[in-house]
Amino acid sequence: MQTQPGLRSRTGAGTGDLGGRVAVITGASGGIGAATACRLAAEGATVVLVARRGEVIEESARALRGAGRSALAVTADVTSADGLARAVDVITEQAGAPDLLVNNAGVMYPGPLHEMRLDEWRRMLDVNVLGLLQTTGAFLRPLLASARAGRQVDVVNVSSIAGTRDFSPEYAVYNASKAAVSAVSRSLRGELGPQGIRVTDIQPGLVSTGLGEQTTRTESRESIAGLFERHQALEPDELADVIAYVVSRPPHVGMPQLVVAPVTQ
């Protein structure tokens, strides 16, 4: 885990809607997470970028600070309980107690069941489900402390339309992992809502990111390319826009579940 000095260099112009908030975004080294970090920072939040590729998030945090935003990079793997515990300590010390957590880190490995790609199944369940649970659990104490201090507190879980709708065959385990994310979100809403934490489950459709490039299956790469030919995929910024909207509503306004997808999908 690495962090940078000089975190508090905020001088730039955001709209300031999220001024004073401390936002942790997992999976911030690319795609939706990177765009969300930029957007929340532009709105005035201190953002903490979390991912495994430390050099990538460090570069992004540096660029954000250079633009006058307040940003910190913390290298961590969401499947490591120890790593997450260390991340919570570093973040709380350097950025203050978080009041906004975007559980966005995720992986996707398509493949028909008969191929029995057990390692990839485990990886998806580990990162997408257990990783999200571990991350939320690790940050719960500071999030609850922020809520008790009267601050607005949000947990945003990035699920997928894959969890609730008919999604392509060959996605059984990914679909199951995202169905779990949405189920967890519903339960957390009941558990944390009364304690002052707003929980939102966002279910994106096709977004133009590197997610589909993780698979080594040629057939899957081709079918993903076909999806991009059939639909005008959303841009990561468009998801970031929705996340920024949700977390900047007055504290009593909840949007428990949002589907954000290309019009044709």
Count of other CB atoms within 10 angstroms of residue 38: 23
Is the CB of 29 or the CB of 220 nearer to ligand NDP? 29
Count of other CB atoms within 10 angstroms of residue 153: 27
Q: CA dist 218 to 109, 110, 119, 225, 227, Å? A: 12, 11, 18, 11, 14
Regarding 211 and contact with ligand NDP (CB under 6 A), the answer is: yes
Candidate ranges 50-58, 87-95, 112-120, 141-149; the one touching ligand NDP (CB under 6 A): 50-58
Is the CB of 177 or the CB of 248 nearer to ligand NDP? 177
Minimum Å gap between C-beta 187 and ligand NDP is 18
Minimum Å gap between C-beta 224 and ligand NDP is 9
The SS3 call for residue 152 is coil
The SS3 call for residue 202 is strand
Minimum Å gap between C-beta 198 and ligand NDP is 20
User: What are the structure tokens assigned to 38, written together?
Assistant: 């930029």
Minimum Å gap between C-beta 6 and ligand NDP is 22
Residues 124-143 binding ligand NDP (CB under 6 A) are 127, 131
The rounded distance, in Å, linking the Cα atoms of 128 and 173 is 10
Among 2, 15, 20, 53, indicate the residue that binds ligand NDP (CB under 6 A). 53
Please, what sign has the CA dihedral across residues 156, 59, 30, 132?
negative
Candidate ranges 1-9, 16-24, 100-108, 144-152; the one touching ligand NDP (CB under 6 A): 100-108
Q: CA dist 38 to 31, 79, 157, 256, Å? A: 11, 24, 18, 23
Clarify whether 109 is annotated catalytic: no
Regarding 33 and contact with ligand NDP (CB under 6 A), the answer is: yes
For residue 141, the surrounding DSSP H or E stretch is helix 132-148
Among 14, 27, 110, 111, indicate the residue that binds ligand NDP (CB under 6 A). 27
Among 7, 42, 207, 240, indicate the residue that binds ligand NDP (CB under 6 A). 207
The rounded distance, in Å, linking the Cα atoms of 47 and 61 is 8
Regarding 22 and contact with ligand NDP (CB under 6 A), the answer is: no
Among 41, 108, 143, 247, indicate the residue that binds ligand NDP (CB under 6 A). 108
Active site residues: 174
